[in-house]
Structure 1
């Protein structure tokens, strides 16, 4: 049985990889990019209800994808919501759980959510939590009586970001649009 090893590389420099469609990629791809999530240089913290904020990191309108960091600033709740797409999150700070599950996410923990599930996000941590998320599709929010309140999708999150930037004289960052 062969042992899997990392691909070999002995150069710490750019290697010219031949690719048949490189000219098309160069012409049509938005290219790779870096978004500074540690400061407000690339994206500010935008209020998200009472006691929470979102740092928007990416918007992809072609696939309905969006990425952000959700910061619940102390013990609190993000109300019951239903995902219509796949959600991948990593707990960066604090801890968080869903009332509907028997686990608690801590720093470094991976949270996977599938379409069609509804849940209520809760943090009891004294400093709240920060969650990095890569999300696809709409999220429907409901009140405590299960009445529909609002749908948040890539367009909602773009509006959330751009409205805050305009109201606070912050330039809209084109790097966030992929």
Structure 2
């Protein structure tokens, strides 16, 4: 490619079936209403809710110490720690600020934020579902992209952003 061609945009149309790009200018939102509560001082912020492929990208924010959830994933999960740190009761490693975590399919773990952490924010890509279990593996509930969409709709309706606010994140 000649240097003059390098700066020429692609000249042809994109595939008609391809969904539009999703740009989230303020991943950590200025408007606190965007954070969807999922527990006491625990919220998620949707970035992408991919209903067509069954996964979601979100930020998880925790502003209190404690056990968040024990769960299993049938598919891989990826995480990037933006602020603070967290760990799993079942492992001896700690997910520190700036760190990346890969969670293998089938693993069951219990997410914990320690008392000296004032705020934790981690970006997660969750494929498939989070299956909540008790210490013996008995299923107590689940989340998937569709339950996440519904939680967003209810929250955004209640706080004035409107049920349709979540639609911008759905692909």
Q: TM-score range by the shorter chain?
A: 0.7 to 0.9
Q: Is 1:30 the equivalent of 2:19?
A: yes
Q: Secondary structure at the match of 1:164?
A: helix
Distance 1:44 1:71 in 2: 12
The Cα of 1:42 is off from its aligned counterpart by 10
The residue that corresponds to 1:3 in the other structure is: none
1:125-153 per-residue CA deviation (whole Å, 9 max, x = no partner) reads: 43141110111101110235543211100
Q: Secondary structure at the match of 1:135?
A: strand
Question: Runs of 5+ in structure 1 lacking a partner?
Answer: 1-7
Of 75, 90, 110, the residue aligned with 2:100 is 110
Distance 2:33 2:66 in 1: 24
The Cα of 1:106 is off from its aligned counterpart by 0.9
1:68-127 per-residue CA deviation (whole Å, 9 max, x = no partner) reads: 111111212112101011100001111111111111111110010111000001111431
Question: Runs of 5+ in structure 2 lacking a partner?
Answer: none
Q: Is the 8 A contact 2:133 2:140 kept in 1?
A: yes
The Cα of 1:63 is off from its aligned counterpart by 1.0
Distance 2:152 2:138 in 1: 26
Q: Is the 8 A contact 2:33 2:159 kept in 1?
A: no
The Cα of 1:24 is off from its aligned counterpart by 5.1
Q: Is 1:17 the equivalent of 2:10?
A: yes
TM-score under structure 1 length normalisation: 0.83
The residue that corresponds to 2:40 in the other structure is: 50
Please provide the CA RMSD for this pair: 2.4
Q: Is the 8 A contact 1:43 1:57 kept in 2?
A: no
Distance 2:44 2:132 in 1: 16
The residue that corresponds to 1:5 in the other structure is: none
Number of aligned residue pairs: give it. 166
Query: Structure 1 residue runs of 4+, over 3 Å off?
Result: 8-11, 40-43, 143-147
Q: Secondary structure at the match of 2:152?
A: helix
Q: Is 1:80 the equivalent of 2:47?
A: no
Structure 1 range deviating more: 32-41 or 65-74: 32-41
The residue that corresponds to 1:67 in the other structure is: 57
* Larger-gyration structure (1/2): 1
TM-score under structure 2 length normalisation: 0.86
Distance 2:93 2:119 in 1: 16
